[in-house]
Amino acid sequence: MAVKFNVVQRGNPAKPLEPKKFYPSITSSGRKTMRQLAAQISQISTVSSVDTMAVLEALLTLIPQELMAGNIVELGDFGNFWLKANSEGANDTNSVRSGQITTLLPRFNAGKEFKRVLASVDFEKV
């Protein structure tokens, strides 16, 4: 199975006068819903798609709760989730307040097995 890409032309925003270059850009082959994934899981396991959906829903409920509690969520070889904050600076430590946090974003770092699978991806130009 190959990951498809097309070609896009982009300029460098930091150097707008330089000539634009062409880059490969990954294209989507479609979408998979959680229900579709649950059906696929049920075909390769002894767990029904309904039970799989229940577990996935529970996982999707717990991950944000654990992140809000300040925890890093470790999912083994799949990877880890954590929170990253963007904030405005202050002149000294006593002036730092929570209101300086401008955005809070979830981050993901792929685990060993996930990275191994990604390393074997083939690409196909469309």
Mean pLDDT of 50-60: 96
Please give the pLDDT value at position 122. 95
Show Cβ contacts of residue 5 under 8 Å, excluding neighbours closer than 6 positions.
24, 25, 26, 27, 123, 124, 125, 126
* Mean pLDDT score of the chain: 95
Q: Does 1 score more than 80 pLDDT?
A: no
Mean pLDDT of 55-66: 96
d(CA 126, CA 57): 35
Q: Please report, rounded to a whole number, the percentage of residues in the chain having pLDDT higher than 70.
A: 100
d(CA 112, CA 77): 5
In which band, very low, low, confident or very high, does the pLDDT at 71 lie, cut at 50, 70 and 90?
very high
* pTM for this predicted structure: 0.78
In which band, very low, low, confident or very high, does the pLDDT at 98 lie, cut at 50, 70 and 90?
very high
Q: Classify burial at 51, counting beta carbons within 10 Å of its beta carbon; exposed 0-12, middle 13-18, buried 19 or more.
A: middle
- Tell me how far the alpha carbon of residue 126 is from its chain's centroid: 24
Whole-angstrom Cα Rg for the chain: 21
In which band, very low, low, confident or very high, does the pLDDT at 126 lie, cut at 50, 70 and 90?
very high
Question: What tens digit of pLDDT does each residue of 3-32 get?
Answer: 999 999 999 989 999 999 999 999 999 999
